[in-house]
Structure formats: structure tokens, C-alpha cells
Amino acid sequence: MTTHTIVQDPAKARAYFEAKMAFTTGPVELEHMMKSGEVNVVDVRAADDFAAGHIPGAINLPRERWHTLDGLQKDRRNVLYCYSQVCHLAATAAVEFSTKGYPVMELEGGWRWWKEDGFPTAT
């Protein structure tokens, strides 16, 4: 059996990763942005899950309340997070909120990575 390696186009790779960095962030970067007041953190998980634990300072805007846009800010990036890396709730919210003119980013790994990496939590 022969394994073939596909050589990717460096220009396409650059475009992909530039876009990825513009619209996603990780827990370490988010913590720095939070300390400098650069971002508005938005938890799009269900209200009960938010109450059980969330990123300190985050607002809760579950799916059934997205139409209200409560707590979103147009003058700062709204960093959205949901349950985990495989949850697409934050990405879905990002589409919805950006359509309304709100600057958005997604926290990679969501609540799971934030919590498992030992970052501060609130209840």
C-alpha cells in the first residue's frame, strides 16, 4: 500500500489561517483580552448550564433569547462560547450576530477547554 502526500497550496493555507486567527481565540488569549477589557464574553449555552458554571464576567445569551441581542456590544468583540470543540452553537450564534452587525469571535474548545485547562470559573 502506498501513501500519497498531498502538497497544499501555501497561499490557500495562509488565507485560511489568517481568517481563523481573525475569528477564533483560545483560552490563554481570551484571558489576556479580558484583563485588558478588549472583549465582551458571551456564553450561548442553556441558562441552567451557565448557572452551574461559566467564565467570570460572561453574560448568558441562550439560543431562545438570541433575537433580543441582550448584552451584545457593537464597540467591542463579542467572544462567544458554547460547550466544547465539537459544539457548533457558538459558531451558529456568530453567524446570527454578525448578520446583525456585531463583531464576533469564537472561543475554541468552549467551556470544556476553559474549565479543563484550569482557568477561573464563576457560578
Model pLDDT for residues 34-67, shown as the tens digit of each residue:
999 999 999 999 999 999 999 999 999 999 999 9
Average pLDDT over residues 12-21: 93
Q: Give the separation between CA 15 and CA 28, rounded to whole angstroms.
A: 23
Q: At residue 104, does pLDDT exceed 80?
A: yes
Eight-state DSSP code of residue 74? S
3-state DSSP assignment of residue 51: helix
pLDDT of residue 3: 75
Q: Give the separation between CA 71 and CA 94, rounded to whole angstroms.
A: 14
pLDDT of residue 6: 80
Q: What structural domains does the chain harbor?
A: 25-116 (3.40.250.10)
Q: At residue 108, does pLDDT exceed 70?
A: yes
Q: Catalytic residue positions?
A: 82
Closest CA to 55 of 104, 117, 98, 101: 117
pLDDT of residue 91: 97
CB atoms within 10 A of CB 42: 26
The pLDDT mean for the chain works out to 95
Q: At residue 81, does pLDDT exceed 90?
A: yes
Give the pLDDT band (50/70/90) at residue 1: low
Model pLDDT for residues 22-35, shown as the tens digit of each residue:
999 999 999 999 99
3-state DSSP assignment of residue 16: helix
